Structure 1
Amino acid sequence: MRIAVVNNFYPPRPGGSAHLSQHLAHKYAEAGHEVLVLTATYGDSPAEEVRDGVRIVRIHAWTLPKNRFAANFDIGFTSSPKAKRRVFELLDDFSPDVVHQHGQFFDLTWLSGWWARKRRIPTLLSIHTRLETPLSRFNDFVYMMADRLLVAPLMRLHRPKLVVMDILMDRYIDKRYRHVISGKVAIPVGIEPEALRGGDRQGVLESLQLDGRRVVVSIGHVIPQRSRIALVKALPLVLERFPDLVVVVIGGVYHDEFLHLAKELGVEHAIVTTGVLPQNRIPDFLAAADAEVHELEGLGFGTASLEALAAGTPVIAAIEPDNFLDIIVHDGRELFIAPPVSSTDPRADPSALAGVLLRVLEDPVGARDQVAANAQLLIENHFTIGRVAERHLEVLTEMAEKRQRSGRGIGRTA
């Protein structure tokens, strides 16, 4: 089978969807399928290369100006008449049986969807980000209108099948896209657990001069949906008991409100920001951490949190027990759940979060032992990239075979 993987984000550009699409592309190739990746240019990455049996073509991109609607995030877009011709030529030449797209609001998804509509090739679309935020009514209105006036009409052109990764995404899809898609399939995010284990704990402690201090890591770009505000508000209470505590924030700071708040509360000395780090450095920080904390807005449970679970690091998060639909998690069994502000406000309550942090920090070894084995078993049973790739391939194969039976399209199955 020939599979085109499409994502404006792809390594070396950092991000959860970038790494997931790369892992899946490699697994598709390992399973004997031909794989073409279409992505946006990034830095000095080559325009075309072959890695691990995957052909990667980067389409010339321009960067969206950093602003509050893009969460000050570094987003590369490719839209231009030349890009359209290039994408159509590449896909016509490759002749895929199916297209696996990542990200509903990226222009490579729109271009490949346009191509797929014309060639009658089925598309599977993984949505990694919901265009909504309870943190700003104005921004939420803008996102809703973008979904209604731009994303949904473009999605209607090729009517993809959507990958549902968690319960919040399921609700979002039903609310925004149910009339413009061909169906849904539940597949969680996948990770490589072995790559997260055996990190160099001492090396991190020495390099940041943290030896002997309690360490909380907070992994992921700082954006409004992962603002770290609740964590900063919890720090005064935590620092009363552990004055040597340090919070290490790993990722790009695209929304710096938490730093201003930390200064106001007099806790800025307890925060270290590293900026974006290579993926191979993350295991070292997880090994050095007494806990990992960043999912505090009640907006889901992403790749970085799954990676921390795989490493056996205690994770504290504002998450619903049925976040993963039919996969149920429990407070104190696989992770520690930060109580919400209220039944209508899913954000972590700072005072309650402080209590959970103190509970973990007062016995970090015990806390790790309490949840590590269960967390790692959860990952092995449901979230390894191998299991997730197998499920994707089942769905992609069904879609390609259905198209073949109908006698339509230009692709062919190997």
Structure 2
Amino acid sequence: MRIAIVSHYMPPHTGGVEQVAALLARTYADAGHEVSWIACATPLPPGEATEEGVRFVRIADANVLERRFAMPFPLIGLGGWRTVARAVAGADVAHVHDCLYATSIAATRQRTPYIVTQHVAMVSFGGGLIDPLLATAYRTAGRDVLRRARHVAFVSENVRDWFTQHVAPDLRASLIPNAVDTSLFHVASDAERTAAREAFGIPRDAVVVLFAGRLVPKKNVRALVDALGHTDAHLFVVGDGPERDALAALGHRVTHVPRIPHARMPEAFAAADAFALPSTGEGLPLSLIEALASGLPCVVSDDPAFAGLAACDAVIRTPLAQLSSALVDALAMPASRRVTSRAWAEARYGLARFRDAYLALLAEAAR
């Protein structure tokens, strides 16, 4: 099959959607399909390239909403719209990531059959006029994209339930959680841990909490910094964004690496003793399941997005007001919890199930 993958961004722009799309691009190419991936170019210039059997089409965009308001909604012009349209029209089937991006809407205006992976429910951007406008957009343009899809794959129960209740209750849909390559993300040896800390400049004997993600308000980085201020732990941050100034409060007890290739993320997890993601409005964050596969105890917020992890002994769900004590508890977990964390990831987020589910959906959609 000729498969067109359409997303808002692609690497080196950082984000979970980009990494899931990258995993699918490799999966489809490895299965012998002809794969094109179309997305906005930020932070690279527009252009085309072919790497490892995948054709990358980077289109010109205006990234003002992310730059000014931390809203990852790149804007495209007529030329970008036409580029998306041509690429999708030349495919047998398209795989669209999320329903409300400009690239998604452009892709789904063609006659090519498509499926959608919906990664997130509605995220609040501080209230005011933005939130009701966004909700209206989901109930109009987003609903249209989802209803015309041959199939919609939701990454978590929370995302599925939000769309069922607020957008469209009658979609052709299923639940396909994100996946992680458990051969790459694994419980680190002592030697790997020491080497990783040396590579990132982290004190060898520190107790380390890792945060990986964009430094934007919904991730609650300021709350994490405040909570760690009541402990002796060292914060290791992989990611960047407008909230980076909050890190200064920890002084020498923070190591900040704004961006690394995703191929080095196993090394980042190897350097940590625990993982923290006290965010809201998530789908199924790739960084979280990578942390679980790496055998790390995890601390997350009590946001409904994380309700599905309640049965995992290696995950602590906590209100932000109790974040500090939750981090202390996570760091005190026995080594046996690493086995629990790893086993949870292997049982639920393996590549084989993920690959087979999506290849079957695409084959059915292309008929």
Q: What TM-score do the two structures reach when normalised by structure 2?
A: 0.87
| Aligned residue in 1 for 2:193 | 201
* Candidates 172, 179, 185, aligned match of 1:183: 172
More moved, 122-131 vs 162-171: 122-131
| Aligned residue in 2 for 1:147 | 138
Asked if the contact 1:9–1:18 (Cα under 8 Å) also holds between the matched residues in 2, the reply is yes
Asked if the contact 1:4–1:36 (Cα under 8 Å) also holds between the matched residues in 2, the reply is yes
Give the residue type in structure 2 aligned to 1:170.
R
Give the residue type in structure 1 aligned to 2:75.
F
1:254 maps to 2:237: no
Alpha-carbon spacing, 1:72–1:140, altered in 2? closer, same or farther (3 Å): closer
Q: Distance in 2 between matches of 1:166 and 1:3?
A: 24
* Candidates 109, 113, 123, aligned match of 1:114: 109
Q: Distance in 1 between matches of 2:109 and 2:263?
A: 36
1:355 maps to 2:355: no
Asked if the contact 2:282–2:305 (Cα under 8 Å) also holds between the matched residues in 1, the reply is no
Alignment of 1:168-317 (within 5 A): 168-178=158-168, 182-197=171-186, 198=188, 200-206=192-198, 207-237=200-230, 239=231, 242=232, 245-256=233-244, 258-259=246-247, 263=249, 267-297=250-280, 299-317=282-300
Q: Deviations over 1:371-410 (max 9, x none)?
A: 2222222222221233212111122222223xxxxxxxxx
Q: Deviations over 1:317-349 (max 9, x none)?
A: 235799586xx65252xx22133xxxxxxxx23
| Partner SS state of residue 50, structure 1 | strand
Superposition CA RMSD, Å? 2.9
Q: Deviations over 1:255-304 (max 9, x none)?
A: 35744xx74xxx44533322122212222221121101013437454100
Q: Deviations over 1:59-88 (max 9, x none)?
A: 2223224466x4255x543331x2333333
Q: Distance in 2 between matches of 1:300 and 1:111?
A: 23
| Aligned residue in 1 for 2:117 | 126
Q: Deviations over 1:114-142 (max 9, x none)?
A: 01xxx2x3221112232332854654323
| Partner SS state of residue 216, structure 2 | coil
Alignment of 1:322-341 (within 5 A): 323=306, 329-332=310-313, 335-339=314-318
Asked if the contact 2:159–2:305 (Cα under 8 Å) also holds between the matched residues in 1, the reply is no
How far does residue 155 in structure 1 lie from its aligned partner after superposition?
4.8
| Aligned residue in 2 for 1:404 | none
How far does residue 113 in structure 1 lie from its aligned partner after superposition?
0.2
How far does residue 182 in structure 1 lie from its aligned partner after superposition?
4.1
| Partner SS state of residue 125, structure 1 | strand
Asked if the contact 2:70–2:242 (Cα under 8 Å) also holds between the matched residues in 1, the reply is yes
Q: How many residues align?
A: 363
Give the residue type in structure 1 aligned to 2:162.
Y
Q: What TM-score do the two structures reach when normalised by structure 1?
A: 0.78
Alpha-carbon spacing, 1:185–1:88, altered in 2? closer, same or farther (3 Å): same
Alpha-carbon spacing, 1:209–1:38, altered in 2? closer, same or farther (3 Å): closer
Q: Distance in 2 between matches of 1:322 and 1:224?
A: 16
Q: Distance in 1 between matches of 2:85 and 2:332?
A: 58
| Aligned residue in 1 for 2:87 | 90
Q: Distance in 1 between matches of 2:255 and 2:127?
A: 27
| Aligned residue in 2 for 1:9 | 9
Q: Deviations over 1:204-238 (max 9, x none)?
A: 4334241221111111112222122332332243x
| Partner SS state of residue 338, structure 1 | strand
Q: Which has the larger radius of gyration?
A: 1
Q: Distance in 2 between matches of 1:393 and 1:166?
A: 19
Alpha-carbon spacing, 1:173–1:38, altered in 2? closer, same or farther (3 Å): same
Alpha-carbon spacing, 1:160–1:268, altered in 2? closer, same or farther (3 Å): farther
| Partner SS state of residue 330, structure 1 | coil
| Aligned residue in 2 for 1:54 | 54
For structure 2, the residue ranges without an aligned partner over 5 or more in a row are: none
Q: Distance in 2 between matches of 1:166 and 1:138?
A: 28
| Partner SS state of residue 132, structure 2 | helix
Asked if the contact 1:152–1:176 (Cα under 8 Å) also holds between the matched residues in 2, the reply is no
Asked if the contact 2:36–2:56 (Cα under 8 Å) also holds between the matched residues in 1, the reply is yes
Asked if the contact 2:42–2:63 (Cα under 8 Å) also holds between the matched residues in 1, the reply is no
